[in-house]
Amino acid sequence: MGDEFCSCDIVHENVIEMVKKKMPQEEKLYDLAELFKVFGDTTRVKIISALFEAELCVCDIAELLHMTQSAISHQLRVLRQARLVKHRKEGKVVFYSLDDEHIKNIFNQGLKHILEPRGFEYALQ
Amino acid sequence: MGDEFCSCDIVHENVIEMVKKKMPQEEKLYDLAELFKVFGDTTRVKIISALFEAELCVCDIAELLHMTQSAISHQLRVLRQARLVKHRKEGKVVFYSLDDEHIKNIFNQGLKHILEPRGFEYALQ
DNA sequence: TTAACATATGAGCAATTGTTCATATGAACA
DNA sequence: TGTTCATATGAACAATTGCTCATATGTTAA
């Protein structure tokens, strides 16, 4: 028994079967990773964080983050495609804002983890 | 006024100042991005998802995900360093489990976003 | 229409990342 | 002690990513 993927013999087959049955579909987990990937960049996190406070145009964000308009525009595209921001045009100016109530929750849960005091065992790592 | 970062003149200075004051420290946002980066990989998401169901040894995970022991071990290292999993040794075997109550919340909030029906405007993108 | 401007986008490049392969570590047992 | 086995780790390589630069798009005003 056991695939070629692990050389070991002590695989706990019954536990594996149980876990396999309970796990979400592969596709959902893939999408989930794709979503978190979007949150996994400092620039994008900053943009999201800024949009919590106010609707902003591309130039505002560029100015705020001290980055080029192009760089911001590229990242806004990623955020748009992930359905995290929406935009509203007013003449030449495009205003961006957050598009989802879940975003703040995801964000805050993440912050809770970050701010949690580190246990003893981790001080050693 | 305005830095060299954005060529535009219509920057909303007052809004920018307000947002700048309200935003979390740069360092916290960096750490947050680092955390989400860990969630932003299919293999790691699968590992976390599996550990929701049961404590597993490295070989179990490798078998479950049809991946090599080495690949899994490398990823467990990343998860350990992000304080997302903890390990327990029993002889030669190392059992991994989740290390944080927040993880499930982050995960579930992400799933809510994924599962949300897409709005009309996004069908066009 | 033409000029000016706000934003979007494609190509290119450097930096980062995830896997594989080979090997090291460290525990159990003969 | 030496062997076996479960896991960890370093180097190398391919794939991905985020930025820059140049330019395209689309809107406003002269």
Q: In this predicted structure, what is the pLDDT of residue B101?
A: 81
- Gap from B72 CA to C10 C1', in Å? 37
Whole-number Å distance between alpha carbons of B48 and B82: 12
Rounded distance between C-alpha atoms, residue A12 and residue A21, angstroms: 15
Task: Give me the residue label for tokens 């070629």.
Answer: A4
Dist CA B10 CA A105 (whole Å):
32
Helix then strand then coil, % of chain A, to nearest 5: 60, 10, 30
* Per-residue confidence (pLDDT) for residue A122, from 0 to 100: 43
Average predicted confidence (pLDDT) for chain B? 88
Contact between chains at B63 and A11 (C-beta distance less than 8 A): yes
User: Across-strand partners of A86?
Assistant: A97
Tell if the CB–CB gap between B38 and A38 is shorter than 8 Å. Answer: no
pLDDT exceeds 70 at position A53 = yes
Count other Cβ atoms within 10 Å, centred on residue B32. Answer: 24
The first and second tokens of residue B98, run together, are 């989740």
Side chain identity at B49, as an amino acid letter?
Answer: S
Which pLDDT tens digit goes with each residue over B11-65?
788 999 999 999 999 999 999 999 999 999 999 999 999 999 999 999 999 999 9
Can you list the domains of chain A with their CATH numbers?
A: 13-117 (1.10.10.10)
pLDDT greater than 70 at residue A3: no
B9, pLDDT greater than 80: no
ipTM of the complex: 0.89
- What is the arithmetic mean of pLDDT over A8-25? 88
Q: Which among B30, B40, B64 has CB closest to A36?
A: B40
